Structure 1
Amino acid sequence: MADKGYVENEIRASALELIGNTPLVALDRLYTGPGRILAKCEFMNPGASVKCRSASHMIIQARKNGELQPGKPVLEATSGNQGTGLAIACAVLGHPLNILMSAGNSERRAIHMESLGANCVRVPQVEGTYGNVTLADIKAAEKAALELKAETGGYFVNQFNNEVNSESHYLTTGPEIWRQTGHHVDAFIATVGTAGTFMGTAKYLKEKNPDIKAFVVEPAGSEPIKGCPITKPLHLLQGSGYGCIPNLFKFDNMDGTLSITDEEAIEYRKLIGEKEGLYVGFTSGANVAAAVKLLNSGKIPKDSWVVTMLNDSGLKY
């Protein structure tokens, strides 16, 4: 029999099989220790963000449980990354997709989603400015999505209230980190938008080792999880820090919060590029800034391994 010249199990059936199993990279040039910062390269997902995980899982589960019938339309309100993940899933599985996104979110995100076949409606801002999106802006996009749902009968993904969102990280992100570190995780930290990434990953890791510490990263001045009044609703961390405690968030698996300023996020985003050769977004900069802050805080041993997320590509901004 002739040699086929290829390995069948190395050929992916679709873009959905490119989601997850992202590498974990040591940021040893940016942070020289003691301790270590390990970062999940979520920008390597096909939609260039961590949201590909939850987007694909929510669509697949909705199809399995009958909420979403084959070929029927899908709609969602998003800051862009979840919408891009949904656009990939809908393109592969054959669903028309309507996205409602605040005009304050990066235009590059709209271009990305539309290139994947989605219809992206940019909803006028209520109080923010371009690049700074507030809770009111998100609510305006969500209101527009619900109005469109009433008109079209499309399946509303509802990422902020969909438990399958956090389940995706419990099933994939957490187990990957546990395996990739050889079960050596001392702390996990992440920014919070819907709270899906933090909740699912922290839950899994703490089930494996209750001594692992889990910290939420919040923008300085917009720290409701910490219990502070909102003094700075406008910040650079698009897709996180909306000034409210997300409906999916539970305090059970959180050990504390870390506050990061816009300036710190900008500084560490720049350092990730210059020291590690990785071009990432502002929430990634905030995560790494928070990891450094945690290692220097005395809250965990100085030789700890801290795992965090590089949420998305810098090309989205």
Structure 2
Amino acid sequence: MSASDSIIGAIGRTPSVWLDRMVASRGLEGRILAKLDYLNPGFSKKDRAARGIIDAARADGSLAPGQTVVELTSGNMGTGLAIVCSVLGHPFVAVMSRGNSPERARMMTALGAEVVLVDQAAHSVPGEVSGADLALVEDAARRITAERGAFRANQFAHPGNAMAHFDTTGPELWADSDCSLTAFVDFAGSGGTFGGTMRALRQRNRALRGYVVEPEGAAALAGQAVTHPGHPIQGGGYAMAELSLLERGLAHDFLTISGDTARQTTRALARQEGIFAGFSAGANVAAALDLLAGPEAGGRIGVIICDSGLKYLSTDLWSDG
């Protein structure tokens, strides 16, 4: 592999590993293929979407040379945008809820971003970002975009997000599995990873089934009543009933995972497989294990290891484990 001209060229083409130890320890039949997107330069899968959105916006002229970029983030998208914008000469403003772990803000600042922290909604819990918290961050992001004449990256709606996963994540997963995947599972954040990856996988296997994962008590996409909008799985599960990038028609079913199950599975992922990941990766693997114990028994399921456990050192993900 030849050297890249910048760190942007190192985004994507992450390795994949089979989680055979976790599967065997539970007496299950089948395999889980984990794509290690925490090995991207910004330590998360959002590097792909950041590059996809900025490349598309520069190409169509909606982002002018040197123009400021603004986006709401739980930290991962902001880190990806901080990297891409720094290299391409765009000032970047990250707007984030104080409910997210502080490691994320520090990393974005170190990468040259201006970080605006937004207070949580009344009765919200630090470390648990709800849809109400996200709405406050959205309001702040809109205001700052207007004040600065900035380009809004808009990860929840910009087609460059899903297209990045269609162009890269899906084809990579399929090739890494030796063209053997029978299902794909993904925790719902912006919906771009699921929508783009599933479109690519379905082009290669029309029978491949897709499963969307939501937090227990906040499964709005599945049409369930929202009883616990606050949960520890940062970066998604905002109890939003619609995500335009998700492509519902590609979802065979919707699954729920509790915060505690995600936590325990993330810890098991570290101890059994040596993969030091975050909450949403644990949710993905837990859902895949449930599927191997049920309707996908004997199958081969693809999952994304969304981000690094380093971004959660101040949370209870590791503190009492």
TM-score range, shorter chain: over 0.9
Q: Once the two structures are aligned, what percentage of the paired residues are identical?
A: 42
User: Using the alignment, how far apart are the partners of 2:16 and 2:120 within structure 1?
Assistant: 36
How far, CA to CA, are the matches of 2:137 and 2:223 in structure 1? Answer: 26
Which SS does the other structure have where 1:13 is aligned?
coil
1:288-314 C-alpha deviation (Å, 9 max, x unpaired): 0101001101x22x2211110110001
1:28 to 20, 33, 36: 20
Report the alpha carbon displacement of residue 189 of structure 1 after superposing the two structures with TM. 0.2
Q: Deviations over 1:193-227 (max 9, x none)?
A: 10000000011111211111100011001111211
After TM superposition, list the pairs within 5 Å mapping 1:177-216 onto structure 2: 177-216=173-212
The CA distance in 1 between the partners of 2:159 and 2:88, in whole Å, is: 21
Q: Which residue of 1 aligns with 2:247?
A: 250
- 1:50-129 aligned at under 5 Å gives the runs 50-127=45-122, 128-129=124-125
Partners of 2:141 and 2:114 lie apart in 1 by 12
Structure 2 CA distance for aligned equivalents of residues 273 and 169 of structure 1: 25
Following the alignment from structure 1 to structure 2, what is the Cα–Cα distance between the partners of residues 258 and 230? 14
Determine the C-alpha separation between the residues in 2 that align with 1:250 and 1:84: 26
Who is 1:10 aligned against? Answer: 2
The AA in structure 2 aligned to 1:120 is: V
One-letter amino acid matched to 1:170: F
Q: Which 10-residue stretch deviates more, 121-130 or 53-62?
A: 121-130
1:152 matches 2:148: yes
Match of 1:276 in 2: 273
Query: CA separation in 2, counterparts of 1:36 and 1:182?
Result: 13
Name the amino acid aligned to 1:36. Answer: R
Per-residue CA deviations over 1:42-98 (Å, capped at 9, x if unaligned) read 100000000000001101111111111111111111111000000000011011111
- Structural RMSD (CA): 0.9
Task: Report the count of equivalent residues.
Answer: 307
- The CA deviation string for residues 225-282 of structure 1, in whole angstroms up to 9 with x for no partner, is 2110101101111111100122322211000011101111011001001001111000
Normalising to structure 2: TM-score of the pair?
0.94
User: In 1, distance between residues paired with 2:132 and 2:157?
Assistant: 17
1-structure distance, mates of 2:195, 2:212? 10
Structure 2: which 5+ residue stretches go unaligned? 313-321
C-alpha separation in 2, matches of 1:270 and 1:145: 34
> What SS class does the counterpart of residue 173 from structure 2 fall into?
helix
Deviates more, 1:124-133 or 1:264-273: 124-133
Q: Which of 265, 270, 275 is the equivalent residue of 2:262?
A: 265
Does 2:158 correspond to 1:162? Answer: yes
TM-score by length of 1: 0.95
1-structure distance, mates of 2:211, 2:223: 14
Post-superposition offset of 1:38: 0.8
Secondary structure of 2:103 counterpart: helix
The residue identity in structure 2 corresponding to 1:131 is G
